[in-house]
């Protein structure tokens, strides 16, 4: 498995009084990216374009079949946090890692790009490792993931950092994390803490399998706990049990939440109190790897909403960030996203999202 490293040094100190734009909560994973063919996926028993949870033994077996790999701190919400930091936002991350090589690499990497992260790593053991995701990228840029959660699944209320949750504009929750009962309880507690501090709550549906497993609970969250939802067209249709996007958009509109529904090359649809608004995708010269596209879209959208942009403008910025990340291998931006936003006139003016959805949702 991937390398050992020295403990992180020189990490930025935490200021409990620093206003935070977004606190992102999710599975702390190290991505291990490599190329694969469709035949490789069939041989490994993986369904192309999906994410499968695997145990440590199977993860090691799949890793042994991979060719050269690239390692990077990952996890959906962590990728979003990285994007917000790259745009110039103040962002904190909550996740759980082990005190092993992967865990120390994760801590170092995410802090080095400006994300506030103050974990309490758990003791490492042969069967207790930092979570990792094997990302197999085929020639058509589609990614298939085999994820071993490791100690990421131990996320609990002990990992909630109250200073950040009490100072944020938006709490962003990764749907993947809803699978573990202790994490689910912690996320519910985080929602209460965020609302107590007059913060908005955003939820990413993450993956169709998450929606399939937690449809009723996710719908319940949209009826009072969540102000902003991120999904793709398949996930949002599955959530409401409908067959087409138009029916799903109508169902979203009835909930009163702000929604950003991605549609791949077709762009996205923003649903506000005034109805649905289609936003075209940003152009990209060549799609290399779709890993992190939704995560970086969410980064641009969340940064925009917390910096005075309208939902439509925030969706444009999300599209620019997604286009950047799919133009290269890996789920973290390699270009200067703040410069990209500035050139597009979408850098924002430091507005507030604390009134979500009442104010921001009504401005299309």
User: What does the DSSP assignment read for 182-199?
Assistant: HHHHHHHHHHHHHHHTT-
Q: Rounded mean pLDDT of 138-149?
A: 91
Is the separation of the CB atoms in 26 and 174 below 8 Å?
yes
Predicted local distance difference test score (pLDDT) of residue 134 = 95
Q: How confident is the model at residue 248 (pLDDT cuts 50, 70, 90)?
A: very high
Residue 6 belongs to some domain of the structure: no
Instruction: Examine the pLDDT at 5 and tell me if it is beyond 70.
Output: no
Whether 284 has a pLDDT exceeding 80, the answer reads yes
Residue 343 counted as domain residue:
yes
pLDDT digits (tens, 9 = 90+) for 72-99: 888 999 999 999 999 999 999 999 999 9
What token pair was written down for 204?
Answer: 């990413």
Could you report the per-residue pLDDT of 106-130, keeping only the tens digit for each?
999 999 999 999 999 999 998 899 9
Q: The tokens of 119 are what? A: 């974990």
- pLDDT given at position 280: 96
Cis check: omega of the bond before 357, within 30 degrees of 0: yes
Distance CA 281, CA 323 (A): 8
Dist. CA 33–CA 47, nearest whole Å: 17
Residue 269 lies in a domain: yes
How many C-beta atoms surround the C-beta of residue 323 within 10 A? 20
200-204, strands of its sheet edge to edge: 91-94, 20-25, 168-174, 200-204, 228-232, 258-262, 268-272, 275-279
* Residue 11's pLDDT band (cuts 50, 70, 90): very low
| Tokens matching residue 46 | 């993986």
246: left (phi over 0), alpha (psi -120 to 50) or beta: alpha
Q: Locate tokens 């033994």: which residue?
A: 57
Q: Is the model more confident about 12 or about 186?
A: 186
Q: Check pLDDT > 90 for residue 70.
A: no
Inside any domain, residue 34 = no
pLDDT of residue 37: 96
- Dist CA 267 CA 247 (whole Å): 18
- For residue 17, the model assigns a pLDDT of 59
Q: Which among 304, 260, 265, 303 has a CA at the least distance from the CA of 283?
A: 265
Query: Among residues of the chain, what percentage have pLDDT more than 70?
Result: 91
Q: How far apart are CA 155 and CA 151, in angstroms?
A: 8
Q: 89-109 as b/e, with b when 16 or more CB fall inside 10 Å?
A: bbbbbbbbbbbbbbbbbbbbb
pLDDT confidence of residue 72: 81
SS3 313: helix
Q: What is the mean pLDDT of the chain?
A: 89
CA 10/CA 160 separation, integer angstroms: 23
CATH of the domain at 350: 3.40.1190.20
Q: pLDDT band for 330, please (50, 70, 90 cuts).
A: confident
Q: What is the DSSP letter of 212?
A: H
Q: Is the pLDDT of residue 20 over 50?
A: yes
In the block, residue with structure tokens 């209320």: 157
202 occurs within a structural domain = yes
Q: How many domains does the chain have?
A: 1
Q: What is the pLDDT of residues 182-214, one digit of tens each?
A: 999 999 999 999 999 999 999 999 989 899 999
**Domain-located, residue 267:** yes
Q: What is the pLDDT of residue 71?
A: 83
Cβ neighbors of 320 (< 8 A, separation 6 or more) are 282, 300, 337, 340, 341, 344, 346
Q: Is residue 57 part of a domain?
A: no
Residue 332: per-residue pLDDT: 84
Cβ-contact 75, 135 below 8 angstroms? no
- Model pLDDT, residue 288: 87
Q: Give domain status of residue 189, yes or no.
A: yes
Q: Residue 92: CB partners within 8 Å, gap ≥ 6? A: 20, 22, 23, 24, 81, 115, 116, 117, 161, 164, 168
Which residues is 92 bridged to in the sheet? 23, 116
Look up the domain containing 303 and give its range.
20-28+76-97+155-362
Share of the chain above pLDDT 90, in %: 76
Contact criterion met (CB below 8 Å) for 33 and 72: yes
Q: What is the pLDDT of residues 227-247, one digit of tens each?
A: 999 999 999 999 999 999 999
Q: Quick one: pLDDT at residue 74?
A: 85
């Amino acid at each position: 498995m991937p390398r050992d490293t020295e403990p992180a040094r020189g990490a930025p100190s935490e200021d409990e009084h620093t206003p935070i734009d977004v606190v992102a909560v999710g599975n702390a994973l190290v991505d291990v990216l490599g190329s694969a063919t469709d035949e490789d996926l069939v041989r490994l028993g993986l369904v192309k374009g999906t994410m499968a949870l695997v145990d440590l033994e199977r993860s090691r077996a799949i890793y042994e079949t991979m060719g050269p790999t690239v390692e990077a701190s990952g996890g959906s919400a962590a990728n979003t946090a990285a994007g917000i930091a790259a745009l110039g936002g103040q962002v904190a991350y909550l996740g759980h890692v082990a005190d092993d090589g992967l865990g120390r690499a994760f801590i170092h990497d995410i802090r080095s790009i400006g994300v506030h992260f103050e974990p309490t790593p758990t003791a490492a053991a042969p069967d207790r490792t930092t979570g990792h995701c094997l990302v197999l990228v085929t020639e058509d840029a589609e990614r298939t993931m085999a994820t071993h959660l490791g100690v990421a699944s131990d996320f609990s209320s002990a990992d909630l950092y109250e200073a950040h949750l009490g100072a944020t504009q938006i709490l962003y929750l990764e749907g993947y994390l809803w699978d573990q009962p202790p994490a689910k309880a912690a996320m519910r507690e985080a929602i209460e803490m965020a609302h107590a501090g007059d913060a908005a709550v955003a939820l990413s549906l993450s993956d169709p399998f998450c929606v399939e497993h937690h449809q009723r609970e996710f719908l319940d969250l949209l009826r009072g706990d969540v102000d902003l939802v991120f999904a793709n067209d398949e996930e949002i249709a599955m959530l409401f049990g409908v067959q087409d996007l138009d029916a799903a958009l109508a169902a979203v509109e009835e909930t009163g939440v702000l929604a950003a529904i991605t549609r791949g090359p077709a762009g996205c649809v923003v649903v506000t109190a005034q109805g649905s608004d289609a936003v075209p995708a940003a152009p990209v010269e060549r799609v290399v790897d779709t890993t992190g596209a939704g995560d970086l879209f969410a980064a641009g959208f969340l940064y925009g909403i917390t910096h005075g942009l309208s939902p439509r403008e925030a969706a444009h910025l999300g599209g620019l960030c997604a286009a950047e990340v799919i133009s290269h291998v890996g789920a973290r931006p390699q270009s200067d996203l703040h410069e990209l936003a500035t050139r597009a006139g979408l850098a924002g003016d430091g507005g507030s999202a604390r009134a979500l959805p009442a104010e921001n949702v009504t401005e299309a």
